[in-house]
Amino acid sequence: MATVNSATATGIDYESFNVASNKAASNAEDIQNRFLKLLTTQLKTQDPSNPMDNAQMTSQMAQISTVSGLESVNASIKALSDNQSASQSLLATLMIGRYALIPGNEVSLNGGAAKAVVDFPQSASDAVVTIKNAAGVVVSEIKLGAQTAGQLTVGWDGKNAAGVQQPDGQYSISIKAVNGTVAVDAKILNPVKISSVAIDKGVSSLVLENGKRMSMSDVTQLI
């Protein structure tokens, strides 16, 4: 397993596609040459009274065309797959240093400031964000009021209801939203910095600053 820690990535080897295609062409040519030799021998040794008809000749030529074509197609598919993996690795590397929004129930207070994103799938008539410390004690409630569908960035200055500054660290965060008497399935999205990229067997995954990993397909938004 290799880990990429720099935003500078090597270029994709686009020549690999041509190399694979050339190899496929060479293999196909070898097959064709062998086939032609066998066909020539068959024609020379055939019974003059019962020669190969045009239908047989066409059938055999079609077979060799199919075989050589499959050789080329298979090699081309492999080359495209290899380049797709390289493209994915390059894209993942370009994400280093960016912030990905991921679902979560924690928020980090750093330097007396914290922020999270609330995702409302539909309108809400009322919504409240609750923040608790490690002991499970509520330190802040942020009333959002009525909200329309979409995303809303919520900031916290790190102070509790009495105005006392809380220490930096991790806090739990939750959202309760309703539309009238119906609950709204709002979610908390946390911006987490992408610190590096891990590549395992050609598959790239993002390594977050909190040590967790996530698949590139799980990234819904970068900020």
- 100 vs 151: which has the higher pLDDT: 151
Amino acid at 174: S
For residue 80, pLDDT over 60 is answered with: no
Question: What would the pLDDT profile of 149-201 be if each residue is shown by its tens digit?
Answer: 999 999 999 999 899 999 999 999 999 999 999 999 999 998 888 888 887 77
How far lies 26's CA from each of 61, 67, 86, 133, in Å?
18, 13, 25, 67
- 89 vs 148: which has the higher pLDDT: 148
Q: What is the pLDDT of residue 49?
A: 56
CA distance 219 to 120: 18
pTM over cut 0.95: no
- 23 vs 171: which has the higher pLDDT: 171
Q: Rounded to 5 degrees, what are φ and ψ at 199?
A: -120, 115
Average pLDDT, the chain: 75
Question: What would the pLDDT profile of 35-72 be if each residue is shown by its tens digit?
Answer: 566 656 665 565 555 555 555 655 655 565 555 555 55
Token duo for residue 189: 């999205």
- 89 vs 50: which has the higher pLDDT: 89
CA distance 209 to 100: 11
For residue 21, pLDDT over 60 is answered with: no
